[in-house]
Structure 1
Amino acid sequence: MLDMRQLQYFIAVAEEEHVGRAAERLHISQSPLSRQIAQFEEKLGLTLFERTQQRIRLTRDGRTFLSEARAFLTHANRLESLARRLGKGDEGGLCIGYLESSMHSGVLPRALKALRADRPAVHIALYNYHSAAQLEGLRERSLDIALVGEPPAADDAELESSLVLNDPMLLAMPDEHPLAGKRTLSADDLATQPWIGVTQEESAPRHGAFVAACAKAGFSPNITVEATEPLAALGLVAAGLGMTMIQQSLREQVPGGVVVRELPWFCYHTPLWAAWHKVNLRPLVGIFREILVTANSVEFSGK
């Protein structure tokens, strides 16, 4: 049986790569910490650290063990939190991973509103992680539900998913731009225009698709400004700094001074998937999953 205290000590030393700093972080003396680490290695039958006079660093086995140790500790902490909530008589709460697009599209807020209407006391914890981290969270059971841009594989042994949003892309431009009066814009109209790119990780697939569509149309977009997220890009468009592509679900949040147009030559939809573990341990998770899937029809799919 693993000693949780020794596991925490190991993680601290591994992260600090220095016993003294780890001891300060843990509020214990250095010598007892060194003894605990040595005992932990002996118990496991593994050499977790390479030791020199200057520093201590993980071995290859140590690096592998650290990844699993972090996941184990995360799950143990969550189990402790779950036990406390169950002891109070509630249903254990929900840990939900999400992308920002699930917020500004209303997918997650709608589902949470529906859940709260029926279960007002349920504790909800939200975690803004990228898709890969969310799927890993489902596997580790540190998340109950994930809202991701890429679903798990169809043959995934542990996870399954359902499409909850298929969001078309629109062009946003300053309302005083000479092209703002045109209802239909060709690729030639936009070939020499300045563009505002979005560097957010979840925007990468749609950015790549747009650049590919531009290349097919015979030009490369002149990206003169980069923003970290779509709402910031819209603010820059309103200031007259260029054009950008946004999801249709952002249309209600377009600021004054900006108009949006469809681009017939760029037909791309940004998907959002709800994902969960196939082994559903608690009824509350299943209830919220059904709310999430049924409360959000795939309204922008063009069906």
Structure 2
Amino acid sequence: MLDLRQLRYFSAVAETEHVGRAAEQLHISQSPLSRQIAQLEKNLGLTLFERSQQRIRLTRDGAIFLSEARALLRHADRLENLGRRLGRGEEGGLCIGYAADAMHTGVLPGALRRLQEESPGIHVALYSMPAAEQFEGLRQRSLDIALVREPPDRDDPVLRAAPLLEDPLLLVLPAGHPLAADETITAKDLDGQPWIAVEEPGDPVWRDTFVASCVASGFTPDIRLDAADPLTALGLVASGLGLALVQKSMVRGATDAVAVRALPWYEASVRLWAVWHHVDLRPVVAAFRETVLSAERELGEGPLPGGLSGGV
């Protein structure tokens, strides 16, 4: 049987790569920490760390074990959170997993606002995590609902899903760019332009997918920078460093330093799905799911930044 305390010790040493610093972080002395790590390795029959006089670092097997250990510890934290809420009589508590898009599209904040208005006493715990971890959380019942960019497999025996919205991608370019004066932009206009590619968390081939979609639409992007998220991409575009494709919900708050155009010939969007366990154990979960599914998806209908309609 795995000892969660030992797993937490192991995770701390792996993160710091130093027993002394890990001991300070955990508020224990080095000797018992070293003994606990050694005991864990003995119990597993596995060498987790390579040790030298200068440092301690994970073995290849240790790195694989760390990934799973972190997932287990996160699940344990959520389970403890649930148990404490139940212990306090908060049967209406909710654990919600979400992707960043659920926040900036307004879907999750809107649903939480309605929940607070209708049931102000319900405690909500939010967890930002990859879709695969959200699905596992639903299966283990440590999450009540997941908001993700991709649904689970259709033949999944446990999980159910429903689409929430499609957030179309728009072209964002510096306000001073020559193309900013054009109401209509073609694929040929974009060929060879400097681009800022926006990462898709959890997708290891996101860059290849982006380039392939551009080529299929008739242009080849010259990717100069990778942005970790749409907001970062908007900032880089505003600084004149390239063009980007950003979902509609994000450009509403953009500055006059960027221009926005719809590309009717480039049909791509960011999708959001609600996913849940097929068995409802608590009425509050079903009620909140209905709130999410019925919520209005208002992405805004006002003019785009810089007074440009962009055909939207």
Q: Sort the TM-score into its range (normalised by shorter chain).
A: 0.7 to 0.9
Aligned match of 1:268 = 268
How many angstroms apart in 2 are the aligned matches of 1:63 and 1:152? 27
Matches within 5 A, 1:115-194: 115-194=115-194
- Point out the more displaced range, 230-239 or 195-204: 195-204
How many angstroms apart in 2 are the aligned matches of 1:81 and 1:127? 12
Please say if residues 104 and 250 of structure 1, whose CA atoms lie closer than 8 Å, have aligned partners that are also in contact. yes
For residue 245 of structure 1, give the secondary structure of its aligned residue in structure 2.
strand
In the TM superposition, residue 118 of structure 1 has moved relative to its aligned partner by 0.9
How many angstroms apart in 2 are the aligned matches of 1:56 and 1:118? 51
Aligned match of 2:309 = none
So what's the TM-score if we normalise by structure 1? Answer: 0.77
For residue 252 of structure 2, give the secondary structure of its aligned residue in structure 1.
helix
Q: Does 1:80 align with 2:67?
A: no
In the TM superposition, residue 104 of structure 1 has moved relative to its aligned partner by 1.3
Q: Percent identity?
A: 54
Please say if residues 144 and 285 of structure 1, whose CA atoms lie closer than 8 Å, have aligned partners that are also in contact. yes
Aligned match of 2:303 = none
Change in CA separation of 1:41 and 1:182 when aligned onto 2, cut-off 3 Å = closer
For residue 292 of structure 1, give the secondary structure of its aligned residue in structure 2.
helix
Aligned match of 1:97 = 97
- Point out the more displaced range, 9-18 or 94-103: 9-18
- Point out the more displaced range, 179-188 or 277-286: 277-286
Counterpart AA for 2:291: I
How many angstroms apart in 2 are the aligned matches of 1:255 and 1:109? 23
For residue 115 of structure 2, give the secondary structure of its aligned residue in structure 1.
helix
In the TM superposition, residue 254 of structure 1 has moved relative to its aligned partner by 2.1
How many angstroms apart in 2 are the aligned matches of 1:155 and 1:296? 29
CA RMSD of aligned residues (A): 3.8
In the TM superposition, residue 18 of structure 1 has moved relative to its aligned partner by 8.5
Change in CA separation of 1:4 and 1:229 when aligned onto 2, cut-off 3 Å = closer
For residue 201 of structure 1, give the secondary structure of its aligned residue in structure 2.
coil
How many angstroms apart in 1 are the aligned matches of 2:92 and 2:234? 39
How many angstroms apart in 2 are the aligned matches of 1:206 and 1:298? 27
- Point out the more displaced range, 275-284 or 117-126: 275-284
Change in CA separation of 1:250 and 1:8 when aligned onto 2, cut-off 3 Å = closer
In the TM superposition, residue 85 of structure 1 has moved relative to its aligned partner by 2.0
User: Structure 1 regions of 5+ residues with no counterpart?
Assistant: none
Aligned match of 2:212 = 212
User: Structure 2 regions of 5+ residues with no counterpart?
Assistant: 301-312
Counterpart AA for 2:126: L
So what's the TM-score if we normalise by structure 2? Answer: 0.75
Please say if residues 95 and 142 of structure 1, whose CA atoms lie closer than 8 Å, have aligned partners that are also in contact. yes
Change in CA separation of 1:68 and 1:279 when aligned onto 2, cut-off 3 Å = farther
Q: Deviations over 1:248-275 (max 9, x none)?
A: 2223112113221121221112211111
Change in CA separation of 1:125 and 1:186 when aligned onto 2, cut-off 3 Å = same
How many angstroms apart in 1 are the aligned matches of 2:214 and 2:150? 23
Aligned match of 2:257 = 257
In the TM superposition, residue 285 of structure 1 has moved relative to its aligned partner by 2.0
For residue 134 of structure 1, give the secondary structure of its aligned residue in structure 2.
helix
Please say if residues 200 and 206 of structure 2, whose CA atoms lie closer than 8 Å, have aligned partners that are also in contact. no
